[in-house]
Structure 1
Amino acid sequence: MIKIHYHSDCPFFAGCENMLINFFNSEKFRKTHDISFSYRYSVKYSQEFNLRIERPLPVYPLFFLDFSDFSFFDRRLLNRLAILFFRLSLTAFVFLYQIFTLFRLFRKIKPNILHINNGGYPGALSARAAVIAAKLAGIPKVLMVVNNLALDYKRFPRIFDYPIDILVRKLTDLFITGSQVASLQLISVLKLSAEKVNAIHNGISLKKTSSFKKITKKRLGLENFSGVIFGVVALLIERKGHQVLLDAIKNIVEDRIVLDDHFMVLIEGEGPLLKDLRNFVIENKLSTWIKFVGTEDNIVDFMSILDILVLPSIRDEDFPNVIIEAMALSKPVIASRLAGTPEQVIDGVTGILFRPRKSKELSDAICYLVNHPIKRVEMGQAGLIRFKEKFTCQRALNNYSDIYTKLLEI
């Protein structure tokens, strides 16, 4: 039995955490792998983790300080250079403390493999600290999963990560990304050999619906609506591209391309842009076509009433789980052609891809699917077939199991 310890550092249970739950909840996987888990403690993450976990395992919450937010400094008293110096000093202290804490934990657990789940690269500080702590503790193999496109050194603060990046590059035995695009970016940034990076598509185990479609539509005030329902499932933050979608809807309405009752867009989620997005809808008289529904407790219930999923992201995506969730539900997908989305959506077959920020292209895609009901069904069916072939939970688990075995044989 292979002994694997997983480590993650995320302030909330983001999409990049979902693959961890596949490992933890799979009875088949647990029969051949002895697993444990550590994470940087936060109340929100702990609550969301506990809601998802079905099978008990050894869990180690770690109380690491987070100095990522320096907004409490008065810029009138401290110039940027002083703030940068203070930040680097604190980061160095925290980094050494994290290495020491993780070293003690790893010496206690003594796994064969450390699997680090990192949101991106450089990502979380403790993810990089874990690499160094693992080698100091004598863990035979270290694997880091990078769930987004790696940042290069064009941004000034990234220059100070360079010494740590050298250590991470040297001490990590294998990097895993969710897409081929992310692999190429990571190879470029860290100057890695191609053999040291492997792309494994994430898989999902879809939750069951908790209510009938008719009930969900009634709850959302759509029981009498017979038009095409589009939906967005994403945090209301700038990089998710909600404004691009609103601009696209505005174009459709102003040009009278489709009739008023032919479509509706449901925006699920919360976030800092909620007020601005709502104001845009009100100011441009788009409330007939756009509805904000807040956070849905069971996202499968929400997605089950959609005809089409839209993901209009403009940057910082890799392999969005929400796309393969829609495919599993036989929903066609309209998504920006960004990072790993072309590896998920086959343009014209399982959905439509458009260039990021191009609201006119998004308008065209929406209108096309509103006016072609048979094509919507065909795309949804093709998406389900592709999901079953490529993106199931078990397929992803099998791929990782093979990687673990091969890693220990090297």
Structure 2
Amino acid sequence: MKAMKKKVLIYSDCNLFGGSEHVIYNIIRNPYLKEKFSFSFLYRYSKLYQDKVIELSYSQYCDNLYSIHLLTNYTIYRYLKSKITIRIIRRILFLPFYILEIVGFYKFINRIIIDIFIKKHHDYAIVHINNGGYPGAYSCLQFALGLRKYPKIRTIMQVNNLAQSGYEKIDGRVCSSVDQFITASQNARKALLLKRKIKPSKVTTLSNYVEDVSIQYGKGCKEDLNDGTITILQVALLQERKGQKYLIDALKILNANSSVKYHLLLIGNGECYNEIKQYIKLQGVEACVQLLGYRDDYLDYVNKADVIALPSIKDEDMPLIILSSMALSKAIVSTDIGGIPEEIIDGVSGILVSPKEDGFSYRLADAIKKAYKERKVIGENARRRYEECFSAQSYAKNIVRLYNE
């Protein structure tokens, strides 16, 4: 007779389907974990997020799918930022919503909504809260606090970026409510301990992983990437922290100083789309930069590109796109922030540069040039490191241990 699987509820609050969401998607699909646990998934409703849940067939991997409607200014602000370029007008329009948030109206209503959900669904052995950072989404903290009434539920909180500075009273209550925090890197763990005073015994570092991807040629990437130019690819949300402007500057530097032409592909969406589009025009590089938007077949582009670049300048932990690129034996250029140095051994399995603004674009250009020249050796080393450190099986063993402690 087979032992009953433990029931796990995963909660996530995010508007966009970024790297932290893929971490959870990997968990619910992991074959080793599915042998021992049955998963249900709860998310804060947004049309964009729900469409992604449907597209990725979450219902195939989860016993139950739930969504809750919460009050948030994030959606409103993103909408205003994408439609109105004049900052002062944006701020005036946003002011009434900001006041509602400051006086705590949203938090009060959301806490009621979350508590009602927990009361109806408190039969789970484990609740895994997926937080983009710390403090991150306030609803994630509220969810942890709501679980204090149910001490039999083991509460896990995943923190996917570096914690922000500034200890608050709620941190102590959250720490007492959460049985274990997970960070993807030692750097993120240190930030959580130092900046938010979380107890060391409650923080475990568990490196992210990606599946050993196989590429189905001919189904994606219709662009000809073998046209004599050197193709640089970035797959990331279009946000200031991802450093697209510095990469565009680096491209301009490369093309001004090389007989071989470089071409840049940017895959992803985000609130800075219009800003980046204008910047491309301002720099006069429209002919050699393409904004491709979100692509399901982004791995086909990764596989065919010459160099993968992720010049993040802040708020980064352990990007999954780097792991996917390593799995595909690609030469990668990134920055030495967050947990990225724990993925890439500088000069061996990729090239890391400092994102300090002074000369950053020039350092980035030099690194891309070097990565292209040494792409075969770097790619082989990257693949070897992926196999040794970021497998699905080793990740599953650690999750099982955390869930069962």
| TM-score normalised to structure 2 length | 0.87
Q: Say if 2:351 is the partner of 1:352.
A: yes
1:181 to 187, 197, 220: 187
5+ long unaligned stretches in structure 2: 81-88
Q: 2:26 aligns with which of 3, 22, 28?
A: 22
Give distance in 2, aligned partners of 1:240 and 1:191: 28
Greater mean alpha carbon deviation, residues 5-14 or residues 323-332: 5-14
- d(CA) in 1 for partners of 2:310 and 2:366? 15
Whether 1:247 aligns to 2:249 is yes
Aligned residue in 2 for 1:105 = 120
Q: How far apart are the structure 1 equivalents of 2:207 and 2:46?
A: 28
Offset at residue 305 of structure 1 (A)? 0.9
Amino acid across the alignment from 1:335 = S
Q: State yes or no: 1:199 paired with 2:212.
A: no
Per the alignment, in what secondary structure is the counterpart of residue 194 of structure 2? helix
For the pair 1:164 / 2:170, whether they are aligned, the reply is: yes
2:298 is aligned with 1:296: no
Alignment of 1:151 with 2:164, yes or no, is yes
Pair 1:367-2:382 in alignment = no
* Equivalence for 2:306: 307
Which residue is equivalent to 1:156?
Answer: none
Partners of 1:216 and 1:91 in 2: CA distance? 43
8 Å CA contact retained: 1:99, 1:132: no
Paired position in structure 2 for 1:268: 267
Report the CA distance between 1:365 and its aligned residue.
0.7
Report the secondary structure of 1:148's partner residue. Answer: coil
Q: Indicate the SS of the match to 2:10.
A: strand
3-state SS of paired residue (1:310): strand
Cα shift at 1:354: 0.2
Q: Equivalents in 2 of 1:401, 1:202: separation in Å? A: 15
- Structure-1 residue corresponding to 2:142: 129
Report the alpha carbon displacement of residue 266 of structure 1 after superposing the two structures with TM: 1.4
Q: What secondary structure sits across from 1:101 in the alignment? A: helix
Q: Deviations over 1:298-354 (max 9, x none)?
A: 111111111211001111111110000100111011001110000001101011000
Counterpart CA distance in 1 for 2:283 and 2:94 is 42
Which residue does 1:32 correspond to in 2? 36
Question: Which residue is equivalent to 1:96?
Answer: 111
Question: 2:38 is paired with a residue of what secondary structure?
Answer: strand
Q: What's the offset of the Cα at 1:281?
A: 3.1
Which residue number corresponds to residue 9 of structure 2?
A: 5
Matched, 1:282 2:281: yes
| 1:325 aligned onto 2:331 | no
Aligned partners of 1:9 and 1:118 also within 8 Å: yes
Instruction: Give the share of equivalent positions with the same residue, in percent.
Output: 29
- In 2 relative to 1, CA 342–74 (structure 1 residues): closer, same or farther, beyond 3 Å? closer
Q: Do 2:211 and 2:391's aligned partners in 1 also have CA atoms closer than 8 Å?
A: yes
Q: Which residue of 1 aligns with 2:395?
A: 396
2:68 aligned to which of 62, 66, 71:
62
Question: CA-to-partner distance for each residue in 1:228-286, whole Å, 9 max, x for gaps?
Answer: 221011122111101111121222233x2x2143x322122233333333333334332
CA contact (8 A) 1:210 1:298 kept: no
Is the contact made by 1:24 and 1:57 (CA closer than 8 Å) also made in structure 2? no
| Residue 259 of structure 1: aligned partner | 259
2:333 aligns with 334
* Structure 1 counterpart SS, 2:35: helix
Cα deviation, residue 355, structure 1:
0.5
1:50 matched residue in structure 2: 54
* One-letter amino acid of the structure 2 residue matched with residue 135 of structure 1: R
Cα distance between partner residues in 2 of 1:31 and 1:78:
48
Amino acid at match of 2:128: H
- Residues 203 and 394 in structure 1, CA contact (< 8 A), matched pair in contact too: no
2:155 is aligned to: 142
- Contact 2:250–2:365 (8 Å) recurs in 1: yes
**What is the one-letter code of the residue matched to 1:147?**
N
Consecutive unaligned residues of structure 1, counting only runs of 5 or more, are 154-158
Aligned-partner Cα distance in 2 for 1:62–1:227: 48
> Are the structure 2 counterparts of residues 301 and 63 from structure 1 closer, same or farther at C-alpha, using a change threshold of 3 Å?
same
Task: Tell me, yes or no, if the aligned pair for 1:260 and 1:289 is still in contact at 8 Å.
Answer: no
- Whole-Å separation in 1 of the counterparts to 2:94 and 2:36: 55
Q: Provide Cα deviations, 1:43-101, integer angstroms capped at 9, x if missing partner.
A: 22122122223434222222222244676999779989x95476333133124313422
CA-atom RMSD in angstroms: 2.6
Residues 98 and 129, structure 1, Cα contact 8 Å, conserved in 2: no
Distance 2:33 2:53 in 1: 19
Letter paired with 1:183: R
Return the offset for 1:152: 1.2
Instruction: Name the SS for the 1:205 alignment partner.
Output: coil
CA contact (8 A) 1:120 1:147 kept: yes
Counterpart of 2:395 in structure 1: which amino acid? A
* TM-score (normalised: structure 1): 0.86
* Cα deviation code 1:151-182 (max 9, x no counterpart): 112xxxxx7xx232221022211111111111
Report the secondary structure of 1:192's partner residue: coil
Which residue number corresponds to residue 114 of structure 1?
A: 127
